Amino acid sequence: MAGSVSPLNLPDGVFCEPEFGLNRDLLNGEYAMLAQRKWNFLFVLGLLLAACPLAGRPNIPTQEPAFQERFPRYRLRAGDVLELNFPFTGEFNQTVIVQPDGYINLRGIGEIRVQDKTTPEVGEMLRAAYGKILRDPAITVELKDFEKPYFVVGGEVAKPGKYDLRGDTTVVEAVTIAGGVTEKSKISKVLLFRRVSDDWVEVKEVDMKRMLRERDLSEDLHLHAGDMVLVPKSAFSKFSRFIPTPSLGLYFNPLSFLGAK
């Protein structure tokens, strides 16, 4: 017939419209499938790209440590001695020493790690542990012996060394205790090092020059036990917010601390 179009040899159920040469439903279905595959591929690719920068990187802390905490609780260290009292089950009374790996050996329980914990935190841990063999155990934890809190000041100060941390002490006060700064010091770039885990130390910069010039000590950081203050001779071009603990040796000369008190 004039003007008629012969049907194409297509599978059953598929009809071809002359003006397009393709079935619209079939075309839309193919496009939808290709689009879905494309998005799935992009999604997986995005996940892989996001993960790549993290591969092989150390577990660097990201939390903000409480540099301005005024009265932090004492945290247990190796060699500390704890006296554990059980008022209603005296047979479990014991005195334990924190081992070099941070563990204590408990009667009837075994070992638990208490390093870097406060005594209230240890009390909660003990109640949970002894709750498995005692009913609602009452336990008191007393710190009988411990390492005296200290701080270290190094660099361009008159008397670099290790000092007892007696009461609330700030960075400026610590530098004063260490005899003050030398003429070569860069007091606008004083560094405070604070351990945030067994492996990492956080570095905080303190501008003593500006604080003293403006007579504003509101940003003068309060020390924690074990903090290290460095008064450099010149400003560091750059430093990481977190550094591995062994890297402290690059900033401090241990020989300068011998005999300092």
Report the side by side order of strands in the sheet with 242-244: 161-164, 150-155, 228-231, 190-195, 200-206, 242-244
- pLDDT tens, position by position, 210-230: 998 998 888 899 999 889 999
CB 221 within 8 A of CB 181: no
Instruction: Name 17's Cβ contacts closer than 8 Å, sequence gap at least 6.
Output: 23, 24
Average pLDDT, the chain: 78
Domain 81-145 has CATH 2.30.110.10: no
Domain boundaries, the chain: 24-52, 81-145, 150-257
Does residue 115 have a pLDDT over 50? yes
SS3 142: strand
Name the more confident of 36 and 13: 36
* Overall pTM > 0.75: no
CB 70 within 8 A of CB 252: no
150-257 in CATH: which number?
A: 3.10.560.10
CB 104 within 8 A of CB 112: yes
Give the Cα-Cα-Cα angle 214, 218, 223 (nearest 5 degrees).
120
